[in-house]
């Protein structure tokens, strides 16, 4: 199926991609809020991040696709906090904070709510794309560095941090730097991530501190 009519080229391409995307169809069929849920599910299938995590934070959680996957795969006793500037429809087992995690007092509020340090932090955040690869890469690198700083402060020893990044060159230096902080760090490209997309994920397990 192809979209025609009074749409600009980029809008038609996006709509065609959405309509024909098998993961969009699969998300609707399985009741997921976004196709992004499958990226976290694939990550969990490979690295087993969720099952034994007792305290979990989902950064940039709206519209809730990753929080939904976390809710389904975590134990009944797990505590899950979704953090985003935007609210979304509630989910079982998931609390929400509508805040900027970079705010000065955000980390204290989050740790107070969670009752201590956490086992798992995941992030599918990305700044709005401007269409210039180097600029988009630099902008997400700044956001990832901020999420990394947050994770180093909030994670329990042995904890895991998984975040999205755009490929552009600097991600390799980030990975090598994070190897000093975590026992195992690697890149992961889910099958549900579009092949032409520059997005990739860094999975960092076993915080050393």
CB-CB neighbours of 111 under 10 Å = 16
- SS3 at position 18: helix
| Catalytic residue chosen out of the listed positions 157, 164, 172, 208 | 164
Cα angle, residue 162 at apex, residues 147 and 145 outer, rounded to 5°: 25
Q: Following DSSP, what letter does each residue of 140-169 receive, concatenated?
A: HHHHHHHHHHHHHHHEEEEEEEEEEEE-SS
Residue 69 class from Cβ within 10 Å (0-12 exposed, 13-18 middle, 19+ buried)?
A: buried
Look up 109 and say whether it is catalytic. no
Q: Across 50-198, where does the E strand assignment appear? A: 55-59, 79-84, 94-98, 118-123, 155-166, 182-188
| Element of type H or E holding 203 | strand 199-207
Cβ neighbors of 24 (< 8 A, separation 6 or more) are 18, 35
Which residues are marked as active site? 164
């Amino acid at each position: 199926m192809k979209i025609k009519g009074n749409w600009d080229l980029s809008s038609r391409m996006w709509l065609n991609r959405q309509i024909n995307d098998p993961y969009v169809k699969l998300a609707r069929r399985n009741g997921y809020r976004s196709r992004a849920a499958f990226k976290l599910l694939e990550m969990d299938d490979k690295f087993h991040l969720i099952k034994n995590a007792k305290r979990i934070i989902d950064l940039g959680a709206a519209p809730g696709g990753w929080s939904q996957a976390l809710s389904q795969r975590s134990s009944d006793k797990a505590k899950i906090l979704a953090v985003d500037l935007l609210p979304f429809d509630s989910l079982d087992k998931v609390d929400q904070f509508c805040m900027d995690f970079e705010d000065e007092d955000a980390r204290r509020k989050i740790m107070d709510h969670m009752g201590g340090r956490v086992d798992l932090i995941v992030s599918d955040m990305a700044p709005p794309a401007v269409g210039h690869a180097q600029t988009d890469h630099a902008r997400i690198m700044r956001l990832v560095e901020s999420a990394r700083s947050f994770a180093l402060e909030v994670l329990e020893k042995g904890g895991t941090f998984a975040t999205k990044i755009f490929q552009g060159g600097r991600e390799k230096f980030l990975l090598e730097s994070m190897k000093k902080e975590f026992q195992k760090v690697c890149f992961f490209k889910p099958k549900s991530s579009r092949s032409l997309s520059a997005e990739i994920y860094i999975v960092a397990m076993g915080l050393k501190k």
